[in-house]
Amino acid sequence: AMTFFDKALETLKSVFGEYHPDLAEMHYDIGVVQLDIGSIEGAMQNFMSALLIRKMVFGNNHHIVSDTLFKVANIHDLKGEHALALKFYQETLRIERISLGDCRIEVAITLRNIGHAHYSIGDLPNCIGAYKELIKILRVNLGDNLIVVASMCNDLYSVCLESGRSEDAQIFYKECR
């Protein structure tokens, strides 16, 4: 598959030049394949190439830029670089709110990863804040009775307990039921 992608990249570059949206899409797709086969550095390189082109073509606040930033953040998370992942997730969130609005599922997913990154670096208060906001968005989009909402309430309950916030934990425990 990589040989095909390499040839496709060269063809796109020769036809469209270095900074075309189709070239960015190809870099992105190659990054996805490389991530799937475990080539994390190759994936990062291709996502960063896609990011550069997408910012040049679409501007810094386009949802396609946030999607690419999200992939970069995921790679930093995979590598255990949670503080760096957090910065990319936060930039993703900023752009998603501008380009998509505050109550979209994409925003909720990014908040979940922000909460996880905060948790991973030991910042439990900010983890709790991200999870609370996530749960509000999930409820708006999915209602109260779905397993994903209950699961996030349970995660928030656990983090509250771990951080010594037992009163908050009890509130979220009741919401999980």
pLDDT of residue 146: 74
What pLDDT score does 145 carry?
65
Model pLDDT, residue 3: 76
The mean of the pLDDT values for the chain is 88
Condensed to tens digits (0 to 9), the pLDDT of residues 10-51 reads: 877 778 888 889 999 999 999 999 999 999 999 999 999 999
Report pLDDT for 95. Answer: 98
Cβ distance 62 to 84 under 8 Å? no
Q: Is the pLDDT of residue 177 over 60?
A: no
| Whole-structure pTM value | 0.85
Provide mean pLDDT across the span 145-149. 73
Tell me the pLDDT tens digit for each residue of 132-144. Answer: 899 889 889 888 7
pLDDT of residue 176: 60
pLDDT grade for 124, boundaries at 50, 70 and 90:
confident
Q: Give the residue with greater pLDDT, 7 vs 60.
A: 60
- Between the alpha carbon of residue 106 and those of residues 6, 128, 137, the distances in Å are 31, 19, 10
